[in-house]
Amino acid sequence: MMGWSDHLLIAPIILPLVTGALLLLLDERRHALKALINVASTLLLAAIAIRLLTMAGETGVAASRVYLLGNWPAPFGIVLVLDRLSALMLVLTSMLALAALVFSLARWHRSGPHFHTLFQLLLMGLNGAFLTGDLFNLFVFFEVLLAASYGLILHSSGPFRVRAGMHYIAVNLAGAALFLVGVSLVYGASGTLNMADLAARIPELGATDRTLLEGGAAILGVAFLIKAGMWPLGLWLPNAYTAAAAPVAAIFAILSKVGIYVILRLSIVLFGADAGASASFGSSWLLAGGLATIAFGAIGVLASQAMGRLAGFYVLVSSGTLLTAIGMENAGVTAGALYYMVSSTLAISAFFLLIELVERAQDPAANVLAVTMEAYGDDLDEEEQEEEVGVAVPATLAVLGVCFASCAILLAGMPPLSGFIGKFALLAAAIQPADASPAMRVATWTFFSLVIFSGLSAMLAMMRAGIRTFWAPVEGVVPRVLVMEIAPVAFLLLLCLALTVQAGAAMRYMEATALSLHQPSAYLHDVLSAAPVPGVKAGGH
């Protein structure tokens, strides 16, 4: 029989679903109760995610836990798979969710209907996408998280948000169509949707089926790259992230990483070294596209006047760095990339929250002049200032300034914080292989210089924004910031600090994760040999 700890694997999907459904039943005016339930559920989710992380860390380097939905064995039923990578993503998601949720409780959660329900459903879609081992099930969870994100991006409304939200929805609906075409091509060519079964079948495919499958995988890849924001598929991203309300943008920082996660998982499991004639399919595209994305993002960071757009473009830089690292197909680079991903996601999320606090002090009219009209429009009177209850932060500007400086150091990848360690691990592993081909060496050095350039551009842009915000105003208006609002920012930055102090332990975990990822045979074996629970009839009827 299965113990409780085996069923823990499905809890990150069930818990947000039940909470979201429950919150739907409560009247919209009972903010306090809704907030309480949401916080309790998110806290529990974080505890479960951390427990799953330790569970995944306990097992040997290349082992994964498998949960058979409906008790059908692997290729026939849908499976959930927990390994180190998915556990890491679950923890990252729940940390961002905690910070964004607490931040929203100060006032944002009241500025539109069903914030808490959509928030929980977004978490459900994210967790499901990280746990599932089936391609079509992945599509379903993608749609769940996208549908929730459509609602959240429109949260608290206004012409600018609705316009940006409309572009966001149109792009993602087109992406969903591509996803379906890709999935069905893969199924038509191979006859399976289970990732592990698919990986086992790819080396044995005939020439015609292989062409079809690679075509399908390429179309599927485009759908994920739209999500991840690879140039030129990511032009929608900065506008959408700038438009979203601050806590929504903070949780959206993980949305682009879902695309990265799927690409990392599929490119290694399906087209790793064991894939026969299809080995390393698409990796050169990832490499080139990633480099272009870093360049585009870095120029965008330099060019953006408003801090929101700066953060949006930095998401692109982060995506590009990770895509290039995936394209290099090297376990050491992957380990560095995972560390970099955690650090940069936390930092971007903290920065999105901080922007709203810092910009509260600025005169909206001056903002409109500084920013291109295209970006801000004419809708800055979004919320009337109501009398806020709560404890305000003393020495507001000093606290905000310290947080801002930490964000700048993290985003630019300067020592001593974790942004530097991530980039260092990434670059040190990238220049290691001495037997690289000339083309690969050119790519490596381009990557090297682009990463340094993107760090420099982030530093310059952050410095300019910081000077304009903290030093330039002659008659400075000190924003009223609640402890409840600065605490999530501090929490995320402290996580980055912990990642810096415990860099050895964190790097060891990432290295074990990368090693197990690059040995997909163990993943295949675990998934395909998972036995149904005896004594329970499959299908449960």
Partner 1 sequence: MELVLALAIGGLVGSGVWLLLRPRTYQLVIGLSLISYGVNLFIFSMGRLRTGSPPLLGSDKVAEAAAFADPIPQALVLTAIVIGFATTALFLVVLLAARGLTGSDHVDGREPR
Please select the residue that binds partner 1; options are 16, 75, 133, 165, rule is CB under 8 A: 165
Binding span for partner 1 by CB under 8 A among 176-184, 226-234, 313-321, 430-438? 176-184
Residue 218 is a binding residue for partner 1 (CB under 8 A): no
Residue 184 is a binding residue for partner 1 (CB under 8 A): yes
Per-residue DSSP letters for 273-296? GGGGGGTTTTHHHHHHHHHHHHHH
Show the tokens assigned to 402.
Answer: 């310290």
Residue 226 is a binding residue for partner 1 (CB under 8 A): no
Query: Rounded to an integer, what distance in angstroms lies between the CA atom of residue 178 and that of residue 459?
Result: 37
Query: Rounded to an integer, what distance in angstroms lies between the CA atom of residue 483 and that of residue 412?
Result: 27
> How many chain residues bind partner 1 (CB under 8 A)?
30
Cβ pair 276, 202 in contact under 8 A? yes
Residue 183 is a binding residue for partner 1 (CB under 8 A): yes
Query: Rounded to an integer, what distance in angstroms lies between the CA atom of residue 484 and that of residue 123?
Result: 22
Task: Report which of 485, 493, 484, 477 is spatially closest to residue 360, judged by C-alpha positions.
Answer: 477
> Least distance from C-beta 227 to partner 1, angstroms?
15
Residue 221 is a binding residue for partner 1 (CB under 8 A): no
Determine the 3-state secondary structure of 394 from DSSP: coil
Residue 169 is a binding residue for partner 1 (CB under 8 A): yes
Residues 239-258 touching partner 1, rule: CB under 8 A, are none
How far is CA 167 from each of CA 91, 161, 420, rounded to the nearest angstrom?
A: 30, 10, 35
Please select the residue that binds partner 1; options are 22, 24, 63, 180, rule is CB under 8 A: 180
Residue 114 is a binding residue for partner 1 (CB under 8 A): no
Task: Report which of 315, 312, 311, 263 is spatially closest to residue 294, judged by C-alpha positions.
Answer: 315
Residue 478 is a binding residue for partner 1 (CB under 8 A): no
Please select the residue that binds partner 1; options are 82, 98, 129, 154, rule is CB under 8 A: 154
Please select the residue that binds partner 1; options are 159, 232, 276, 364, rule is CB under 8 A: 159
Q: Which is nearer to partner 1, 94 or 190 (CB)?
A: 190
Q: Which is nearer to partner 1, 173 or 531 (CB)?
A: 173
Binding span for partner 1 by CB under 8 A among 55-63, 172-180, 459-467, 478-486? 172-180
Binding span for partner 1 by CB under 8 A among 28-36, 79-87, 88-96, 169-177? 169-177
Determine the 3-state secondary structure of 65 from DSSP: strand
> Least distance from C-beta 276 to partner 1, angstroms?
23
Q: What angle do CA 141, 533, 524 make, to 5 degrees?
A: 55
Query: Rounded to an integer, what distance in angstroms lies between the CA atom of residue 490 and that of residue 493?
Result: 5
Q: Which is nearer to partner 1, 377 or 433 (CB)?
A: 377
Task: Report which of 259, 424, 426, 421 is spatially closest to residue 328, judged by C-alpha positions.
Answer: 426
Residue 158 is a binding residue for partner 1 (CB under 8 A): yes
> Least distance from C-beta 148 to partner 1, angstroms?
11
Residue 285 is a binding residue for partner 1 (CB under 8 A): no
Residue 143 is a binding residue for partner 1 (CB under 8 A): yes
Q: What share of the chain is helix, strand, coil (3-state, %, to 5)?
A: 75, 0, 25
Cβ pair 315, 229 in contact under 8 A? yes
User: In the block, which residue shows the tokens 């400075």?
Assistant: 476
In the Cβ-directed half-sphere of 192, how many Cα atoms lie within 13 Å? 19
Give Cα 393 to chain centroid, integer Å: 30
Binding span for partner 1 by CB under 8 A among 59-67, 93-101, 139-147, 514-522? 139-147
Q: Which is nearer to partner 1, 374 or 384 (CB)?
A: 374
Q: Which is nearer to partner 1, 157 or 283 (CB)?
A: 157
Residue 368 is a binding residue for partner 1 (CB under 8 A): no
Please select the residue that binds partner 1; options are 181, 288, 436, 538, rule is CB under 8 A: 181
> Least distance from C-beta 434 to partner 1, angstroms?
45
Please select the residue that binds partner 1; options are 21, 36, 162, 536, rule is CB under 8 A: 162
Please select the residue that binds partner 1; options are 36, 47, 61, 170, rule is CB under 8 A: 170
Residue 111 is a binding residue for partner 1 (CB under 8 A): no
Residue 187 is a binding residue for partner 1 (CB under 8 A): yes
Give Cα 436 to chain centroid, integer Å: 31
Show the tokens assigned to 503.
Answer: 């860099």
Cβ pair 264, 330 in contact under 8 A? no
> Least distance from C-beta 301 to partner 1, angstroms?
24
Please select the residue that binds partner 1; options are 23, 91, 193, 450, rule is CB under 8 A: 193
Please select the residue that binds partner 1; options are 8, 26, 37, 140, rule is CB under 8 A: 140
Residue 75 is a binding residue for partner 1 (CB under 8 A): no
Pairing of strands 65-68, 79-82: antiparallel
**Torsion angle of alpha carbons 153, 337, 491, 47, nearest 10°?**
90
Please select the residue that binds partner 1; options are 59, 111, 157, 396, rule is CB under 8 A: 157
Q: Which is nearer to partner 1, 154 or 429 (CB)?
A: 154
Please name the helix (run of DSSP H) or strand (run of DSSP E) that holds residue 81, with its range, or none: strand 79-82
How far is CA 505 from each of CA 106, 339, 461, rounded to the nearest angstrom?
A: 35, 11, 32
Residue 521 is a binding residue for partner 1 (CB under 8 A): no
> Least distance from C-beta 178 to partner 1, angstroms?
9
Binding span for partner 1 by CB under 8 A among 146-154, 264-272, 313-321, 455-463? 146-154
Determine the 3-state secondary structure of 388 from DSSP: coil
Please name the helix (run of DSSP H) or strand (run of DSSP E) that holds residue 496, with its range, or none: helix 483-501
Query: Rounded to an integer, what distance in angstroms lies between the CA atom of residue 495 and that of residue 418?
Result: 10
Query: Rounded to an integer, what distance in angstroms lies between the CA atom of residue 157 and that of residue 382?
Result: 8
- Give residues in contact with partner 1 (CB under 8 A): 136, 140, 143, 146-147, 150, 154, 157-159, 162-163, 165-167, 169-170, 173-174, 176-177, 180-181, 183-185, 187-188, 193, 377
